[in-house]
């Protein structure tokens, strides 16, 4: 069963900033980064318990091609992505982010359903 994936605003900003950085390095690379992120999110949506719990109920999936980790939690409504961080960032950085969950309208993306969480 594929779960719904919701992105917190901070995670969405993480993705946008990383994609922009890669795009600035080489045209088209930003889109490749986003494609890889989407593939990773689709895997998370299909098998969320596949990745290890790193702190309390938060799990981390590493992207294959890019040195980024996707930090997420699973709740009754699906998957909530709390951060997308470069591997060189301190692994506890995501813990300092605010925690409010409000579901907005979902946006279909391949098999996973992504939406913004504010």
Q: Across the chain, what does the average pLDDT equal?
A: 81
Total-model pTM: 0.78
Select the CATH number that applies to the domain covering 4-116 from these four: 3.30.2310.20, 3.40.190.10, 3.40.50.1820, 1.10.560.10.
Answer: 3.30.2310.20
Residue 38 and residue 56: Cα distance in Å, rounded?
Answer: 25
For residue 42, pLDDT beyond 90: yes
Question: pLDDT of 45-102, one tens digit each?
Answer: 999 999 999 888 899 999 999 999 999 999 988 999 999 999 876 555 555 555 443 3
Cα dist from 38 to 70, 74, 96, 100, whole Å: 11, 17, 25, 23
| pLDDT value, residue 107 | 33
Nearest of 15, 25, 39, 21 to residue 116 by alpha carbon: 15
For residue 36, pLDDT beyond 80: yes
Rounding to the nearest 10 degrees, give the CA dihedral for residues 93, 102, 107, 91: 10
DSSP state of 12: H
């Amino acid at each position: 069963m594929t779960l719904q994936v919701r992105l917190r605003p901070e995670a969405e900003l993480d993705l946008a900033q990383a994609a922009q950085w890669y795009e600035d390095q080489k045209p088209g690379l930003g889109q490749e980064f986003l494609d890889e992120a989407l593939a990773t999110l689709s895997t998370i949506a299909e098998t969320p318990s596949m990745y290890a719990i790193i702190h309390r109920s938060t799990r981390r999936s590493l992207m294959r091609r890019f040195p980024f980790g996707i930090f997420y939690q699973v709740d009754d409504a699906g998957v909530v992505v709390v951060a997308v961080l470069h591997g060189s960032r301190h692994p506890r950085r995501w813990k300092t982010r605010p925690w409010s969950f409000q579901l907005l309208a979902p946006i279909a993306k391949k098999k996973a359903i992504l939406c913004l969480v504010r």
